[in-house]
Amino acid sequence: MSYVLAMPVPISSPGKPTILVVEDDAAVRMVAVGALESLGYGVLQAGDGREALKILKGSEEIDLLFTDLVMPNGISGQDLLRMARELRPRLKAIFTSGYSEAFLRGREETTDSRVPLLPKPYRKQKLIEIVRRALDSSSALDEGARPSAC
> Residue 42's domain is classified under what CATH number?
3.40.50.2300
For residue 37, what are the domain limits? 18-136
Residue 116 lies in a domain: yes
Residue 1 lies in a domain: no
The CA–CA distances, whole Å, from 53 to 25, 28, 34, 94 equal: 18, 20, 22, 16
Residue 11 lies in a domain: no
pLDDT at position 102: 62
Residue 42 or 108, more confident: 42
Per-residue model confidence as pLDDT tens digits over 58-97: 988 999 999 999 898 899 999 999 999 999 999 999 999 9
Using an 8 Å Cβ cutoff, are 99 and 128 in contact?
Answer: no
Residue 145 lies in a domain: no
Handedness of CA 138, 63, 101, 98 (dihedral sign): positive
pLDDT at position 47: 96
pLDDT at position 137: 86
C-alpha 62, offset from chain centre:
10
Residue 127 lies in a domain: yes
Residue 30 lies in a domain: yes
For the segment 124-143, the average pLDDT, to the nearest whole number, is 81
Residue 5 lies in a domain: no
Q: Which pLDDT band, with edges at 50, 70 and 90, does 10 fall under?
A: very low
As a whole-number percent, the residues of the chain with pLDDT over 90 amount to 61
| pLDDT surpasses 70 at 135 | yes
What is the count of structural domains for the chain?
Answer: 1
Burial class (CB in 10 A: 0-12, 13-18, 19+), 67: buried
Residue 31 lies in a domain: yes
